[in-house]
Copies of this chain bind each other. A is one copy, B any other.
Amino acid sequence: MKQLLQQFIDTRAYTEALCQPLETEDYIPQPADFVSPPKWHLAHTTWFYEEFVLVPHASGYKPYHPKFRFLFNSYYNHVGSRTARASRGDITRPTVKEVFDYRHCVNKYLEELIPDILNDDKIVETITLGINHEQQHQELLITDLKYTLSLNPLLPVYQEGYSLVADTRKAKGYIQIAAGNYNIGADNDGFTYDNEHQKHQVYLNDFSISTALVTNGEFLEFINDGGYNKFQYWHDEALAWLNENQISSPLYWQKMDDKWHQYTLSGLIKVESEAILAHISFYEANAYANWQGLRLPTEQEWEVAARQFSWGKRWEWTQSAYTPYPGFKIASGAIGEYNGKFMVNQKVLRGASTATYPGHSRVTYRNFFHPHLRWQLTGIRLVDDSHK
């Protein structure tokens, strides 16, 4: 494992590297509630260190700006009031340059502090959480940005050759897992989130799981078969969602001259049949599985099987709801708000994606989103109960 200081420096630098192709204007808009502006990600990941490390632990540290605590808090009620979730795109000041200055100032303090606190487990743990927190925001930053740029009729190119979705599928086949009791959840080795704790036993039935993710071409067969209009494959509230939002293909797809195209961060491209599907909701993933006569895995099945296949290109929808593991306890104080309060009405996703920071993933990692959301690099892996 890299040393803490180097991890900190690398992660901080990577966020800024992601922003390198941006124009100042790109840092501002928030076109949907679930999206945050790049400027906000830059500032909020900085605020986290200031609030939870520098203010309590760097003696004599004074907050960089008295209002930043309000401006760049995300959802920590313990910390006080904050900018309304949907209003982040209205805030033009501080400027982008001022936010970079803020980052660099906090970086300097952290880089001085870290060598001195390496024996203080509590502070090391908080900084490690800050690093992981920023890595999560890197993934959001780039997927939020894709969503914003996609709304522009000019279809702007973020960076030539940077597509996130151009992965050709290689492997194919099913592996079988035998019924029995298995261990699920994280050991206390290395950093893990509270929602992965604690290791516990589950009983699983026999099942077979695909070693491959569903491709665009396979999903096109579902579309071409009229799958979006066949009610029997869909949840009741999925039908309402389809109708209200007039949805009949994955996010970013559009038909031009009778050919399917998709917006990517390198511009509009043709939908590649062999590439792995991305940007579908849980509703679509589940309907597709029903149409195949198969099903999505539970998160426990996924975790047990994942040691035997390659994963990490798509966040994979499971049929599991995001609920607490046995023995889960909300930590006290603001850090305790990290995960527990979202444990209702969301679905667990397992794996990682091509937008995930290298190393920011593990077989026990639990990601979660509301079932209708599609702007993450979400994909489908199928389970076959009849397969031998």
Contact = CB atoms under 8 A, between A and B. Distances in A.
A92 B23 contact: yes
Contacts of A341: 234-236
A89 interface: yes
A89 B29 contact: yes
Contacts of A345: 237, 345, 371
A377 interface: no
A232 B28 contact: no
B87 A25 contact: no
A308 B31 CA distance: 50
Contacts of A337: 232
A235 B31 CA distance: 25
Nearest to A84: B151
B236 A91 contact: no
A78 B286 CA distance: 19
A87 B323 contact: no
B344 A371 contact: yes
Interface string A308-346: 000000000001110110110010000011000111110
A243 interface: no
Nearest to A340: B235
Interface residues of A, number: 69
Nearest to A318: B323
Nearest to A152: B91
A358 B235 CA distance: 31
Nearest to A93: B156
B90 A29 contact: yes
Contact of A323 (B39, B181, B321): B321
Contacts of A154: 67, 71, 93-94
Contacts of A200: 205
Contacts of A203: 181, 201-203
Interface of A is mostly: mixed
A260 interface: no
Given A25-B93, A148-B92, A77 B231 contact: yes
Interface in A56-111: 67, 70-71, 75, 77-78, 83, 87, 89-96
B95 A23 contact: yes
A343 B231 contact: no
Given A148-B92, A319-B324, A235 B29 contact: no
A24 interface: yes
A347 B205 CA distance: 23
Given A23-B95, A92-B148, A92-B152, 17 more contacts: A25-B27, A25-B92, A26-B92, A28-B92, A31-B90, A67-B154, A70-B153, A71-B154, A90-B151, A93-B154, A202-B202, A203-B203, A235-B341, A235-B344, A237-B344, A320-B323, A327-B385
28 contacts: A25-B25, A25-B28, A26-B92, A26-B93, A29-B92, A31-B90, A67-B153, A78-B232, A89-B89, A90-B148, A90-B151, A91-B151, A92-B149, A92-B156, A201-B203, A201-B205, A202-B202, A203-B203, A205-B326, A234-B341, A237-B344, A286-B344, A290-B330, A320-B321, A321-B321, A344-B371, A345-B345, A345-B371
Interface of A: 23-29, 31, 39, 67, 70-71, 75, 77-78, 83, 87, 89-96, 148-149, 151-154, 156, 181, 200-203, 205, 231-232, 234-239, 282-283, 286, 290, 295, 319-321, 323-324, 326-327, 330, 336-337, 341-345, 347, 371, 385
